[in-house]
Amino acid sequence: MMFYCLLVFHLAIVLIAPIFSMGLINRVKSLWAGRRGPRLNQTWFDLVRLLHKTPVYSVTTSWIFPIAPLVILATTITASLLSPIVPGFAPLGFRGDFVAFAYILGLGKLFLMLGALDTGSAFEGMGASREATYSALAEPALLLGLGTLAWASGSQSFQDLVMPDGSWFNDIALRILIGVALMVVLLIESSRVPADDPCTHLELTMVHEVMILDHSGPELAIVQYASAMKMTMFAGIVASILNPFSANSGPLSIVLAVICSVVLISAIAIFVGLIESVTARLRFRALPLFTMSAFIAVLLALVVTAGNQGVSP
Amino acid sequence: MYFLLLGVITLLVGAVLTVVLPNNRVRVAVNLASQAIACCLILTETMPILFGGTALSTVLEWSYPIEKINLRVDALGAYFLTFSLPMTFLGSLYAVGYLAHDIRGPRHVGLHFALLSMLQFSYLIIYTVQNAFAFLVGWEIAALSAWLLVIWDHRNQKIRFAGFNYLVSTHLGLLFLVSAIMIMHGETNSFQFLDFQEFLRRPSIQRNIAFVLLMTSFGLKSAFFPFHSWLPRAHSAAPAHVSALMSGVIHKAGLFGMLKFILMVGKPDLWMGWYLIGVSVVSAFMGVLYTISQRDIKRLLGYSSTENVGIAGIGFGMGCLGLATDQPVLTALGFGGGILHIVNHALFKCLLFYGAGAIYRFTHTIDLEKLGGLSKVMRWTAPLFLLGSFASAALPPFNGFLSEFILYLGLLQPIPELGSGRAPLLLVIGLLALVGGLSALSITRAYGLIFLGVPRDPHYVDPKAKENPYMIAPMVIHLIGILVIGFVPAMGLRLVEAPTQMFLQLSTAPDTHLSEHVPVSLVQSLTLISAVFGAILAGLLILRFAVLPRCDRRHVTWGCGYTAANARMQYTGSSFSHPMVTVFWDILTYLTREDLPKNVFPKDGHYDTHCVDSVEQSMFKLLSDGESVVTRIMRRIPEDTRFSCGLGLASLVLWVMLISLR
């Protein structure tokens, strides 16, 4: 019974929250700029409008182009089923599932890039090249961070990783360090400021948006929805790492954990909106250093964990 | 055993007939038939052993100096034979398509095919004999036949150079192997592997030296970094099927050697495991780093071999750590993942090389910067190459992911004996993730530039060219292998069960079964993921193409307002890898040739960049600057002997003597 309740909650967050988290980000940006801003569910209407349009493909494209958005969405949904939103619960869980999580997302990214290259446009090639570079540099931080959690928690399944069993100091240090690292990964992977600017209008400066320049109608809607879903998924992971409650104890704890996660995801969306309001996108040259910051946070977490595990005999 | 010997005889008779018969068509037909018969005969022997049967062994009486050769087909040998033989046969089948022009022409192609048979023969020697002398003979037959196969187009000076480069490198490796064998022979006064085993099981300095020498030699054979410099040249020079076989099959002998001697060592020291992991990690990283900046498809694939043997080597290193610390789970995951990666790599790498060969036959170039848009004309090769690339980037649900997943599980396995000394293994996770990201970049770049967009240089697309079924069939068969292992991981695990068992038995009771430590359920969840992903994708496909509006008109690609865009303005390979190259600028070596337009009335200019191998570059530099380096060092030694210098020299000699006498 509890399992099904959590499952419904998980699916609801995965499928619906992307719309509202986008709305929240846009609302924060508007308020900051002194405007009223669109409705919180405006993204929904945008997507529906796009889904009704007839797409136009480029004459250069092959069969990859119409397939790519669907693969991207399918990989994102599959990855969301593997990742926790509430600590201790993910619909699909097995040993080493976070490795599968990272690689399935990789498959989606690959199709995004191939779809961009399929149009033969120099701008889209540029976007694909940047996406390939920065996401490859963010990958070690993601997997090493989760691997460190696995060592600290003595578990190898994504849903249980997020409950370290060390002393409270180690526990808090670990949560904060990995949380910071994954927050950086979130900004890079979901193409937000300062890694990328979703609102820019100059093709030369974009990463994600330039890859989908030639997508229109349903294709555009699917890619944008998948992108929002990816951001919410990473927000869910960060939320479950910072969440002090877990789904493995009594019903009260579960309810608290669920509420806490929803609040944390909203807070992350607001935080992303605030970053976008107050900072500009980093120069591309500085981006590798930005990814490096996530890696260093993870290395610190590794040192904390190694120290906690005792000196080698 | 009789079937095996019968297979050998068939192979050799076939090889002789291939050379002496008249008419190329007959030669090729006889050769393929003999190879097919030999493969079937030998596989009837090896398959039962691979799936749990007892090992076969026999003794051949021979003349001085070997006297008797012990033959033994154990699970490990059976594993290597089971994939090497059919894959070489498929390579020969591919050659029929690839060399179609020569087969029709006046050139004697029999020799080329006979050499392929000789390769098969050399595997049978390497993977079965238990005698160092015979092992070396097999090693040499493989090296020489591979060399002769590489220089098929020997009229081209570049190809001859690549061939000699390969020949010299492979014999450098032989030097290490011979010195290791000499050490072991000196200690045991025998050439039998059984006696070697007795020596290698006892910890001693000589054993450690022999271990390092052996691993260096086998590393050179399998193109571990920094012994890979022969590889990109040889792979780009050889005919596509030879590159494929070299990368996927022939050089797996190096990995076999590693495994074989680890088995002989029995319980390795801890440092051996760390040494293997260190070497392999560097290989995996450097190999993939070079793939991102290559212009030549076959060079790119060659460097990717260095990456993949590195990944397999990480598994072997982990297995050694598991043996050293008595962790059967780690042993099983390390060796299991590493051994499985060998076959996985062979499957997708051969497929990709065959694809590269098909591209070459279609366009007469393998330069990425000149290709483009081929997916519209190469209807078969394009999807095959794409799926092979996915496997090569270790993406689920393809076979490359399975072996990497098992390795990740091994890296995550807790080792209480090591305490916080386990941290380096976690760093390996980070590095493997980076390797995965980089290989995703390089295969996107390769596929995107070759097959997507429009041709960058239209005159390279031959309007009359067609895809040859002899070249497509082997690719399809390899793809089936990739998909079966990828979608049914239990099959893959079953394949490596018996060889992994051999390693497991080194540390635990002989009747311990692999499944006690690595349950199949561990990887079966991957089938679940594939199924979930497939179901979601199918649902979305139906939704998209049945419900949502479909495309009814096409338009030119959005040029951001610029209307005179042409094919040359597409993104190029160098520009695609540029952001990543700038990150690793200090490690990569670039050669730039430029003649920029100058003055008021400029003439034609050009600008060329090539990523060259830094190891090879520094090797040549050392050779050319060698004299000045020696002079500089010698100048530091004063002419009239001083006290400190003499004392230093004397103590050095003393130390060397002390170490060697211990």
Share of chain A above pLDDT 70, in %: 97
Chain A residues with CB under 8 Å of B427 CB are 144, 302
pLDDT in tens, A248-297: 778 888 899 899 999 999 999 999 999 999 998 888 888 889 999 999 99
Structure-token match 């076969």, residue found? B56
Tokens of A148: 């460190």
The whole-angstrom separation of Cα A196 and Cα A231 is 13
Give me the pLDDT at residue A95, please.
Answer: 87
Residue A75 is nearest to which of B443, B533, B544, comparing CB atoms? Answer: B533
> Which of A107, A220, A223 is the best mutation test for B, with the most CBs of B within 10 A?
A107
- Residue A29 binned pLDDT confidence (cut-offs 50, 70, 90): very high
Q: Looking at the predicted structure, is the pLDDT value of residue B510 above 70?
A: no
Residue B203 at interface with chain A, using a CB cutoff of 8 Å: no
At residue B181 the predicted structure's pLDDT band, cuts being 50, 70 and 90, is very high
**Whole-angstrom distance, CA of residue B525 vs CA of residue B477:** 26
| pLDDT band at residue B297 under the 50/70/90 scheme | very high
For residue A283, what pLDDT is reported?
87
Amino acid A244 reads P
Please say whether the beta carbons of A210 and A121 come within 8 A: no
Is A75 among the domain residues? yes
What is the ipTM, given to two decimal places? 0.95
SS3 B131: strand
* A313 part of a folded domain: no
Verify whether the Cβ–Cβ distance B437 to A150 is below 8 Å.
no
What is the rounded average pLDDT of the residues B634-654? 77
- Chain segment B368-382, per-residue pLDDT in tens: 888 988 998 899 999
Q: Is A191 left (phi over 0), alpha (psi -120 to 50) or beta?
A: left
Q: Closest Cα to residue B582, out of A283, A143, A281? A: A283
d(CA A74, CA B539): 9
The rounded distance, in Å, linking the Cα atoms of A35 and A273 is 14
Cβ neighbours, 10 Å, residue B512:
15
Both tokens assigned to A47:
């997507």
Determine whether the interchain pair B541/A70 forms a contact, defined as Cβ–Cβ distance below 8 Å.
Answer: yes
* Nearest CB to B571; choose among A126, A137, A295: A126
Q: Given CB atoms, is B547 within the 8 Å cutoff of chain A?
A: no
What pLDDT score was predicted for residue A156?
85
Strand partners, B610: B591
**Distance of alpha carbon A210 from the chain centroid:** 19
Buried b (16+ CB within 10 A) or exposed e, B619-643: eeeeeeeeeeeeeeeeeeeeeeeee
For the cut 60, the answer to whether the pLDDT of residue A166 exceeds it is no
Instruction: List all residues 6 or more positions away from B330 whose beta carbon is below 8 Å from its beta carbon.
Output: B318, B319, B321, B322, B410, B413, B415
Non-local (6+) Cβ contacts of A9 within 8 A are: A85, A86, A258
- CB contacts, 8 Å: B576 with chain A: 125, 128-129, 132
Is the CB of B571 less than 8 angstroms away from the CB of A60?
no
Tell me whether residue A310 is in a domain: no
With vertex at residue B96, the alpha carbon angle to CA B90 and CA B99, rounded to the nearest 5 degrees, is 125
* Helix, coil or strand: residue B310: helix
> What pLDDT is stored for residue B457 in this prediction?
85
- Position B648 scores a pLDDT of 82
Contact A56 B551 (CB under 8 A): yes
Please state the domain extents for chain B.
Answer: 132-531, 590-661
* pLDDT confidence bin for B359, thresholds 50/70/90: very high
Count of CA atoms in the C-beta half-sphere (13 A) of B464:
0
Cα gap B558→B533, rounded to integer Å? 32
CA A196 to chain centre: 14
- Average pLDDT of the segment spanning B294-306: 92
Distance CA B501, CA B495 (A): 11
Mean of per-residue pLDDT scores for chain B: 89
Q: What are B72's strand-pairing partners?
A: B57
Alpha helix positions (H), A118-216: 122-153, 158-161, 168-189, 208-211
**What separation, in Å, do the N-terminal and C-terminal C-alpha atoms of chain A show?**
47
Question: What pLDDT, on the 0 to 100 scale, is given for residue A167?
Answer: 67
Q: Are A291 and A142 in contact (CB under 8 A)?
A: no
**Which residues of chain B neighbour A71 with C-beta distances below 8 Å?**
537
* Radius of gyration (C-alpha) of chain A in whole angstroms: 19
Is residue A311 situated within a structural domain? no
Is B196 touching A (CB cutoff 8 A)? no
pLDDT of residue A163: 66
How far apart, in whole angstroms, are the C-alpha atoms of residue B151 and residue B157?
10
B58: enclosing H helix or E strand: strand B56-61
The number of C-beta contacts closer than 8 angstroms across A and B is: 270
What pLDDT shows up at residue A164?
A: 54
pLDDT score recorded for residue B372:
87
Of A99, A136, A313, the CB nearest to B440: A136
pLDDT of residue B461: 78
Q: How many structural domains does chain A have?
A: 1
Is residue A215 within 8 Å of A205, Cβ to Cβ?
A: no
Residue with tokens 């100058």: B598
User: Rounded mean pLDDT of B219-245?
Assistant: 90
Alpha-carbon separation of residue A201 from A42, B267, B557 (angstroms): 21, 63, 18
**CA B444, B446, B451, B455: dihedral to nearest 10 degrees?**
120
Burial B397-410 (b: 16+ CB within 10 A, else e): bbbbbbbbbbbbbb
Are residues B426 and B284 in contact, defined by beta-carbon separation less than 8 angstroms? no
Interface probe for B, chosen from A47, A60, A178, A207 (most Cβ of B below 10 Å), is A60
What SS3 class is residue A249? coil
In-domain check, residue A110: yes
Q: Does B528 touch chain A (CB under 8 A)?
A: yes
- Angle of helix B252-265 versus helix B489-507 axis, rounded to 10: 30
Interchain contact B557–A (C-beta under 8 A) = yes
Residue corresponding to tokens 């980076």: B434
Strand runs (DSSP E) across B364-423, as ranges?
none
Note whether B416 contacts A: Cβ–Cβ < 8 A: no
- Compute the average pLDDT of residues B315-336: 91
Chain A residue closest in CA terms to B423: A306
Instruction: Return all residues near B390 (Cβ < 8 A) that are at least 6 apart.
Output: A107, A110, B398, B400, B443
Using the predicted structure, report yes or no on whether residue B335 has a pLDDT greater than 90.
yes
Q: Which two tokens stand for residue A121?
A: 């446009």
Range of the domain at A147: 2-305
A136–B437 C-beta distance less than 8 A:
yes
Percent of chain B whose pLDDT exceeds 70: 97
- Cβ contacts (< 8 Å) between A76 and chain B: which residues? none
Q: Rounded to a whole number, what is the distance in Å from the CA of A91 to chain B's nearest CA?
A: 11
Which of A117, A185, A295, A298 should we substitute to test contact with B (largest number of B Cβ atoms within 10 Å)? A117
pLDDT at A313: 36
Residues B189-200: tens digit of each pLDDT: 888 898 899 899
Question: pLDDT higher for A233 or B589?
Answer: A233
Instruction: Read off the tokens for B6.
Output: 């019968």
Rounded to the nearest integer, the mean pLDDT of chain A is: 90
Nearest CA to B523 among B498, B495, B481, B492? Answer: B492
User: Worst-scoring range by mean pLDDT, A205-209, B184-188, B537-541, B635-639?
Assistant: B635-639
Task: Check CB contact of B422 with chain A, cutoff 8 Å.
Answer: yes
Coil, helix or strand at residue B140: helix
Q: What residues have CB less than 8 Å from B58, skipping those under 6 apart?
A: B1, B70, B71
Task: Please tell me which of the candidates B382, B431, B552 has its beta carbon nearest to residue A54.
Answer: B552
* Cis, peptide link before residue A194, omega less than 30° from 0: yes
Whether the per-residue pLDDT at B344 is higher than 60: the answer is: yes
Does residue A312 carry a pLDDT above 50? no
Closest by Cα among B397, B388, B268 to B335: B268
Give SS3 for B497: helix
Using CB atoms, which residue from A60, A77, A143 is nearest to B536?
A77
Distance from CA of B381 to the nearest CA of A (A): 14
HSE-CB for B468 with a 13 A CA cutoff: 20
**Contact A58/B578, CB-based, under 8 Å?**
no
Instruction: Report pLDDT digits (tens) over B91-135.
Output: 999 999 999 988 998 888 999 999 999 999 999 999 999 989 899
Q: Tell whether A225 is covered by a domain.
A: yes
Q: Does B390 touch chain A (CB under 8 A)?
A: yes
**What's the Cα-to-Cα distance from B241 to each of B82, B354, B523, rounded to whole Å?**
19, 6, 33
How far the first Cα of chain B sits from its last, in Å, is 45
A281, two tokens? 């996108």
